């Protein structure tokens, strides 16, 4: 009886003070601008050029619906031409490996070994020279959800000249660098001329394999040589029994034929500091962001791995995030899935805070920043997933945020926040039919609107 009286007294107090009860508004920062609607696709990468051209990719390694089988017309890289239209990029042929993305003549089936065609692209990135780079895992899912292993010729990094839409460089990874069960996830470029003998710079890639050896891959863009760092170290592994929440629901791994398990995504997000002297990286299966001097990664000698691991610093807890990106302020932007947000880490003072929150930001996979000249005009373009159960069943949209900075800033004030409006929903595009997809479960299935 004593407990009942206490409870009733508490309820009465809440009722009398109901006008003062504080609740989470769920929204913070600038509003969102709808740029593109995805239908029946799984976007994981988005890139914007200096002229505003938009590109996206759809990995067959995460969604069997995105796997090209030789006749279904699927493509893994696209240029987004309007908010409802897109076209295979740089061509239909480049998205159509001969015989399909899976080689069924091997036992078991493997990914196609096609250096001149994409197999399963996980990331598209614009470098500082305004060139598009395409990161191909060489791996896709079969119709029953089995992720096939890659073979030489599948995992690759392809540079495309946007002025003529043709490939100018293809770097193939040997199976001692991109293992058959690797999953090449994201890439950043350091094009400083003084860091390599060729003057063409380096690329840094995350291997987030949930089956094999996670790590970082470093590529000399001049020679095409590549090597690995941090294989299976604590910095690139997911936390044990890691449990994340999106839309208030727990996320567990749930692959076809396997029992439910915890999230096993390792190192994923990656970004260079504004001066390119530091690399930031972190995994989906943990809440930490790490940094390492890039000079330690570019070393490839007998003791370079020891020095690299000794140079890693844990800089912040970032929440559950996917892709990273840097702006001219030096801020490291990243998603925060559990907060429906895009956040940023400020290396100048060591803080991490939300930049924009919105209920439609359920999984910010990729952040791309558009730079224009020396005025430091900044635009954030984010590939967002609106999830339902299973996790891979979703509709998605890309958002663009634009502001103007005449000089670099260390602190971001309220007036620096981005301002833009949301266009009306298109009325001519048919409502999407959401496929059944494998992935991570835990979110209640429900229909999602792509425009509010």
Distance of CA 335 to the CA centre of its chain: 9
Q: Is 16 left (phi over 0), alpha (psi -120 to 50) or beta?
A: alpha
Instruction: Tell me the per-residue pLDDT of 40-53, one tens digit each, with 9 for 90 and over.
Output: 888 899 999 999 89
Please count the other Cβ atoms lying within 10 Å of the Cβ belonging to residue 41. 21
pLDDT at 326: 92
Asked if 290 and 282 count as a contact pair (C-beta separation under 8 A), the reply is yes
Which burial class, exposed, middle or buried, applies to 373 when counting CB atoms under 10 A from its CB (0-12, 13-18, 19+)? exposed
Q: Is 9 exposed, middle or buried (0-12, 13-18, 19+ CB in 10 A)?
A: exposed
- Could you say which residues of the chain have pLDDT below 50? 1, 7, 9, 11-13, 15, 373-379, 385-452
Look at residue 305 in the predicted model and tell me its pLDDT: 97
Q: Is 98 exposed, middle or buried (0-12, 13-18, 19+ CB in 10 A)?
A: exposed
Q: 25-72+168-441 in CATH: which number?
A: 2.120.10.30
For the chain, how big is the Rg over CA atoms in Å? Answer: 22
- Give the residues across from 399 on adjacent strands: 34, 382
β 324-326/332-336 pair status: antiparallel
Instruction: Please report, for residues 36, 41, 378, the alpha-carbon distance to residue 33 in angstroms, rounded to integers and kept in the order given.
Output: 9, 20, 15
**What is the per-residue pLDDT across 250-291, written as a single tens digit (0 to 9) for each?**
888 776 677 888 887 889 999 999 999 999 999 988 999 999
Domain boundaries, the chain: 25-72+168-441
């Amino acid at each position: 009886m004593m407990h009942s009286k206490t409870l009733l007294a508490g309820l009465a107090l809440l009722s009398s003070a109901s006008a003062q009860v504080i609740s989470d508004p769920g929204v913070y920062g600038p509003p969102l601008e709808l740029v593109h609607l995805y239908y029946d696709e799984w976007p994981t990468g988005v890139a914007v050029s200096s002229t505003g051209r938009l590109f996206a990719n759809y990995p067959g390694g995460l969604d069997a619906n995105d796997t090209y089988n030789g006749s279904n017309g699927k493509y893994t890289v696209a240029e987004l031409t309007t908010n409802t239209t897109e076209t295979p990029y740089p061509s239909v042929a480049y998205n159509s490996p001969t015989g399909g993305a899976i080689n069924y003549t091997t036992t078991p089936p493997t990914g196609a070994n096609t250096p001149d065609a994409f197999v399963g692209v996980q990331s598209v990135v614009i470098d500082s020279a305004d060139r598009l780079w395409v990161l191909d895992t060489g791996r896709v899912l079969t119709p029953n959800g089995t992720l096939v292993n890659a073979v030489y010729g599948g995992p690759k990094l392809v540079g495309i000249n946007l002025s003529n839409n043709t490939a100018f460089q293809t770097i193939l990874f040997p199976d001692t660098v991109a293992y058959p069960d690797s999953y090449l996830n994201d890439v950043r470029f350091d094009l400083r001329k003084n860091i390599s003998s060729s003057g063409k710079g380096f690329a840094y890639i995350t291997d987030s394999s949930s089956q094999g050896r996670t790590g970082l891959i470093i590529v000399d863009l001049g020679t095409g040589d590549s090597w690995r760092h941090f294989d299976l170290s604590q910095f690139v592994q997911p936390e044990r029994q890691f449990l994340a929440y999106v839309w208030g629901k727990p996320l567990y791994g749930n692959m076809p034929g396997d029992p439910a398990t915890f999230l096993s995504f390792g190192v994923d997000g990656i970004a260079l500091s504004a001066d390119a002297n530091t690399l930031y990286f972190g995994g989906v299966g943990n809440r930490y962001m790490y940094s390492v001097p890039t000079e330690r990664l570019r070393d490839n000698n007998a003791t370079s791995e020891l020095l690299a691991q000794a140079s890693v610093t844990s800089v912040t807890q970032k929440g559950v995030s996917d892709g990273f990106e840097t702006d001219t302020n030096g801020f490291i932007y990243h998603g925060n899935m559990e907060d429906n947000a895009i956040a940023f880490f400020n290396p100048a003072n060591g803080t991490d805070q939300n930049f924009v929150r919105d209920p439609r930001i359920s999984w910010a996979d990729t952040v791309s920043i558009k730079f224009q000249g020396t005025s430091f005009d900044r635009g954030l373009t984010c590939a967002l997933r609106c999830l339902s159960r299973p996790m891979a069943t979703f509709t998605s949209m890309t958002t663009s945020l634009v502001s103007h900075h005449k000089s670099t800033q260390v602190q971001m004030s309220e007036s620096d926040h981005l301002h833009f409006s949301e266009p009306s929903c298109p009325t001519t595009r048919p409502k999407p039919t959401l496929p059944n997809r494998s992935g991570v479960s835990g979110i209640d299935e429900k229909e999602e609107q792509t425009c509010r």
